[in-house]
Amino acid sequence: MSEFITNVPAYTLNTGAVMPAVGLGTFGSDKYTPDRIATAVSGAIRIGYRMLDCASVYQNEDQIGKVLDGLFKEGVVKREDLFITSKVWNDQHREVKKACEKSLKDLGLSYVDLYFVHWPFPNYHAPGCDGDSRNPDSKPFSVDEFMDTWRQMEELYDAGLVRAIGMSNMTISKLDAVLPLCRIQPAALEMECHPSFQQQELFDYAKAHNIVPIGFCPIGSPSRPERDRCETDVADTELPEVVKVAADHNIHPAVVCIKWAVQRGLCTIPFSVKEPQYISNLKCTTEDPLSAEEMELLKKADRDCRLVKGQVFLWPGADDWTQLWE
Ligand SMILES: NC(=O)c1ccc[n+]([C@@H]2O[C@H](COP(=O)([O-])OP(=O)(O)OC[C@H]3O[C@@H](n4cnc5c(N)ncnc54)[C@H](OP(=O)(O)O)[C@@H]3O)[C@@H](O)[C@H]2O)c1
């Protein structure tokens, strides 16, 4: 077996729970099969990963659940040593408990450590749809509708089905509108974050509100689905700032993105089904840190390049994806 990686940094949530700073992403980008991802989950846990970022819409929670069951039975890891997230998908905002129970059943767990509202509106598109798909029932963000969903999240927390609750794909103006109304504050905020899209204001806002930011697409999602690609996108692993730091450390530019994220104070959830990659992504946070000068240089890599634009969630009459991020 490969080496076992320890001493990965961690964050303490506002619940008191400790969450590793690196987790394995599990969205296969319509490219990797559920079984391939579940096999990677098994391999990743065996080499030291203790966090998984799951979601019902990734359509692989049952395969991951079977792998977890096997690892528990084999004595590789105990449930309490893992930090597992899941998310309610957009079409289940009015039945959050049912959605959560389905994820728990699929994952074979009695609770998840963190449960997210995946997107702040109930606008639905079929998994795997193309970028031009629109749903005529889609609506703009509504504080009332969001809070109805959040109340159901709070009930899940009260019932012990989830140990913390979080939000995802939010903006500062949406957070300003909903945080004062929350009985239970979010413990974490999942947000797109990589060198070319640093979201410094949102990152600072989360930290100031004692919400741990979790950065998704940390490597710039090089395998993302076609619907999430456009001509103006930049590749994080080709940015001159990232390439220079990578050359100086003799590491892959992807690994620079992970080091940068964790040293900046993010939890990061890189996806990979390839063992050498997922080993590097965890191990890199335990050795050979970036210098203060390198962290400064990487600040200059920001190109304000959002990759997950969410255009499939636009409502009738809205034609510009930036309206989703107001
Ligand atoms: N909350 C949300 O709305 C949301 C949205 C998007 C993503 N997420 C979460 O964030 C996770 C990560 O995002 P992502 O999967 O889109 O993108 P990502 O982690 O930025 O990129 C993953 C890809 O990077 C490459 N890679 C990974 N490690 C590497 C290494 N050490 N060296 C070289 N290349 C490496 C792999 O490409 P190859 O496959 O070509 O090898 C891999 O498929 C998802 O899996 C999901 O859990 C959440």
311-323 pLDDT, tens digit per residue, is: 889 998 888 999 9
Asked if 53 contacts 26 with a C-beta cutoff of 8 angstroms, the reply is yes
Amino acid 311 reads: Q
Asked if 246 contacts 252 with a C-beta cutoff of 8 angstroms, the reply is yes
Q: Is the pTM of this model over 0.95?
A: yes
Confidence of residue 62 (pLDDT cuts 50, 70, 90): very high
pLDDT > 90 in the chain, percent: 90
Q: Which of 272, 280, 281, 307 to mutate to test the pocket of ligand 1 (most atoms within 8 A of CB)?
A: 272
Residue 183 CB: number of other CB atoms within 10 A?
9
Q: Which residue CA neighbors atom 41 of ligand 1 most closely? A: 272
Confidence of residue 232 (pLDDT cuts 50, 70, 90): very high
Burial of 235 (0-12, 13-18, 19+ CB in 10 A): middle
For the chain, the residue count is 326
Q: Which of 5, 24, 27, 279 to mutate to test the pocket of ligand 1 (most atoms within 8 A of CB)?
A: 27
Q: How far is the CA of 176 from the centre of ligand 1 (A)?
A: 29
| pLDDT for the residue 258 | 98
Render pLDDT for 112-156 as a digit per residue (tens, 0 to 9). Answer: 999 999 999 999 877 777 777 888 889 999 999 999 999 999 999
| pLDDT for the residue 1 | 53
> Which residues are the active-site residues?
58
Q: Mean per-residue pLDDT for 161-184?
A: 98
Q: Mean per-residue pLDDT for 164-183?
A: 98
| pLDDT for the residue 135 | 87
Residue 291: pLDDT over 80: yes
Distance of alpha carbon 105 from the chain centroid? 21
